Structures are given as C-alpha cells and as structure tokens.
Structure 1
Amino acid sequence: MLKGFKDFLMRGNVVDLAVAVVIGTAFTAIVTAFTTSIIKPLINTMGGAETKGLGFSIRTGTPELTEKTFIDLSTLINAVINFVIVAAVVYFVLVLPIKKIQERRKRGEEAGPSEPTEVEVLKEIRDLLTSQQNHQTVVQSQDVRGPKI
C-alpha cells in the first residue's frame, strides 16, 4: 500500500500540483505574518520618526490628502521578501529533493513506479469477466421469474 502511494506521488504532475498548493495557501500566510509583523516595522524605521514609514506623499496639504497620496515603499519591499522566502522554502524543501530522487531513478539507483505484470493484468481481466457473467446470470434469472410485485 505504501509503495503504491509512493508511486502515485512520483507520477506525472502531482509534485507540481503540490508545489502550487503550498505556494498559494498556508505557507504564504505564515510568511506574510512574519514580514508584516517583523520586517515591515524595521523597514519603516528607515523612513524617520516624522513619517508613516519608508515612502513619500505625492501631494501634501491636509493630513487626509497626505495620507491618501502616500506611496508606501515598505509594502512593496515586504511583498518581494515574502516571494523570495516562499520560493526558497518551496525549492529547497520540495523541488530539490524530488529532482534528486528522479536523477537517482534515471541512474538506476532507486526503483521507479512499478508497472503491473502481464499475469496481474490477465487476472484482473479474468475477474472482471467473471463478475460480469455472474451479474448477467442474476439479471437473466430475475427476468425468467417475472417482475417483482
């Protein structure tokens, strides 16, 4: 059973799908929380005590206008850091190990997904034909007796 599960994981685009799911879900939320809570305040300290953070206002005047036209560079830097952290973890935790396993398989060091033997396929066909014959026999015997009332 575990060998079949391993074969399923190593087949086709299952690994690519897993990578996409990891990038798009929970891990991104963790990294976002980390960069928003820790990295962004550190970046904002570079903006000085009198500003809202690392950035600038396009128009000044009233506090409301200044706030609405503030370009927050720390948010952009934060998003780039998020992306780099997520991509690095996905690459080193998922992609790189899978590539190494696939390389070993190509060299013959590790067995690949097992294919059913001819005997196993013939047994499956035999079992399917037997079950179909049994089903037809039951249906025919019900037809002989007539409909149930």
Structure 2
Amino acid sequence: MLKGFRDFIMKGNVVDLAVAVVIGAAFGAVVNSLVKNIIMPLIAALVGSPNFDSFGKVTINNNDILFGVFLTAVVNFILVAAAIYFVVVVPMNHIIARRNAKMGIVEEEPPVDTQIELLTEIRDSLRARL
C-alpha cells in the first residue's frame, strides 16, 4: 500500500501540480501587492478613496446589507485580473510569438469541418439573396 502511494506521489503530474500550486500562491501574493500597494493608491489619488466600503449600506430587520464592500471586492477582482493580463499574459504572448517566429514555427489553423463549411456556404448564399 505504501509503495502504491509513493508511486502516485512520484508521478510527474502530481509533482508538477504541487510546484504550480506553490508558485501560484507566491505569484498571487505579488499580484495582490501590486494591486494593493500601487494600483489602489493611484486610484485613491484620482478618486479620493481606495475603497467603496462606505458607499452603500441598507439595514433590513437590524441586518446590514453592505453594497459598498461588495463593490470594493468586484473592483479588486477586476484590477487583479487586469494586472495579470497586462503584466503576465500580454508579455508572455509576445515572447512566445517572437520565439516561434525565430524558430520558424507557424501556427496552423485547425481544419474546418466539412459540415460547418457547407452550412457557412448555405448561409452566405441565403444572405446574398436578401
């Protein structure tokens, strides 16, 4: 039983996943720091407040519904997603494209299914008649 567990743990995909989780957690801290310490203060300089926690509050039966806290969470999510996109995804796409161009790798489009091609021709011919 221990041998089976050891074999499972030593499989490449389990180790790769463990490394990805650790690196992802560390990278998450970097992105959160970027948003919290750089982007949010810039927003505060422009708008006046880095969060919207006091934006909206409704009390129903002595229960507070905090719309502002939710709005702050949504804005933080959008900022984190934008930071990841512009700081990681866009540069990586440029690096990969440059590497592929240097190596002469051309990305081919996947073959189009003949049924889809036929339906596209029918659609285009119907549009031409209108």
What TM-score do you get using the length of structure 2 for normalisation?
Answer: 0.46
Higher relative contact order (CA 8 A, sep 6+): 1
Larger radius of gyration: 1
